[in-house]
Amino acid sequence: MAKILVVGSMNMDIVTQVERHPVPGETIQGNETRFFIGGKGANQAVAASRSGASVAMAGALGSDSFGIDIRRELAEARIDLDHVIEKPCMTGLALITIDGAGENNIILSSGANGRYGADEVDQLDLSGFDVILLQNEISSAANQRVLDKAAEQRIPVFMNPAPIDGFDQSQLSKVTFLILNEVEAEELSGIRIEGSSQALEAGKKLLNDGIPHLIITLGSKGSIYMDQAGRQITYPAFSVDVVDTTAAGDTFIGAFAAKYVTGAELPDCLRYATAASALAVSEPGAQSSIPADDQVQSFLTAGNNRTIRLL
């Protein structure tokens, strides 16, 4: 079976529901606070595993109760944790507020994620993996070492440059699939995105950096795939009631990668990933909202079909 390695972050998400997000200097009343396992790396690993892939996780957890909880949950999600190490510090935290429309604001405290560096990556054996997933919630030095090792062994890397603040754009030269949302595409391209035409323009500019494959997710407007061969595919979003958008992007990426490593056609990968992310936003929490493969398949066979546009 094709195997995915996710190198990235693992967090405890502390999520508070609010009617609206506060403005600077304002104190507001929260409605409910809950704890969820999260982190972009862990979310993508869970999404890929629940989509049927064989998945391993590499990264760092702290020596606290949150680290124990995260290990237990990821093991239950059938993720190989042999490459997860413990650091003598706090586990990474995400402080999240979600408003009445389901939109979120997130503050990250990196904890052990920030202490996972190039030296730890040097201990990784990448030879048994078919695809590697990266994000921007561990050190830039660790990501760069992964990219260098993957390039040497010709292992495709799917990179999601989130959070975009502080992302080292020079790392894109060794990325096989760049998967990002419209805010991240705006930041990297310098082009304001208000619809698919601007997204295509931004994508073309990013492809000039030599990235072989690019996907820009556009929320309720769907997604766009582009590559160096000039192929373009647009896929519309599914209409669902939005509860919490926290893990939508991570679900899309993990689900897409899981189908890609099986050899599925690109339009089918986009269709599946779009359905998975639609189901994720209709439930609260990060990993708790990520659907299993049978849920996605049922959703797709229940009349939820979309027309793919090949441009």
Catalytically active residues, by annotation: 250
Looking at residue 257, its amino acid is A
Distance from C-alpha of 250 to C-alpha of 238, rounded to nearest angstrom = 17
Sign of the C-alpha dihedral computed for residues 232, 237, 238 and 243 taken in this order: positive
Q: Look at residues 231, 223, 285 and name the one whose alpha carbon lies nearest to residue 253.
A: 223
The DSSP annotation for 191-242 comes to ---SSHHHHHHHHHHHHTTT-SEEEEE-GGG-EEEEETT--EEEEPPP----
Q: What Cα–Cα distance (Å) separates residue 190 from each residue in 145, 164, 251? A: 27, 13, 26
Rg (CA), the chain: 18
Contact in structure between 118 and 145 (CB atoms under 8 Å): yes
Q: What Cα–Cα distance (Å) separates residue 64 from each residue in 35, 71, 216? A: 15, 11, 37
Contact in structure between 214 and 227 (CB atoms under 8 Å): yes
Q: What share of the chain is helix, strand, coil (3-state, %, to 5)?
A: 35, 25, 40
CB neighbours of 222 closer than 8 A, spacing ≥ 6? Answer: 234, 235, 236, 237, 274
Query: What's the DSSP call for residue 285?
Result: S
Q: What's the distance, CA 197 to chain centroid?
A: 24
